[in-house]
């Protein structure tokens, strides 16, 4: 959160986790969903 840039912040976790956003706007997603669903980063 201390990096001040325009890039989206994404945290990938093991397994299959339903994608969700933190209060700060960080996307939390499972690695399998991230790799197999390209549109996941546009949610």
**Residue 33, φ and ψ in degrees, nearest 5:** -65, -40
The beta strand positions in 1-43, using DSSP E, are: 10-13, 20-21, 27-30
Residue 28: what pLDDT?
94
In a domain, 37, yes or no: yes
Domain span at residue 20?
10-42
Task: Give the tens place of pLDDT for each residue, 1-43.
Answer: 677 787 888 999 998 888 899 998 899 999 998 888 888 877 6
Residue 22: what pLDDT?
93
In a domain, 34, yes or no: yes
CA dihedral 36, 12, 39, 41 (to 10 degrees): -170
pTM listed for this prediction: 0.75
In a domain, 23, yes or no: yes
Residue 21: what pLDDT?
93
């Amino acid at each position: 959160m201390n990096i001040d840039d325009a890039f989206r912040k994404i945290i990938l976790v093991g397994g299959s986790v339903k994608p969700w956003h933190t209060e700060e706007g960080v996307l939390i997603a499972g690695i399998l969903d991230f790799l197999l669903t390209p549109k996941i980063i546009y949610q």
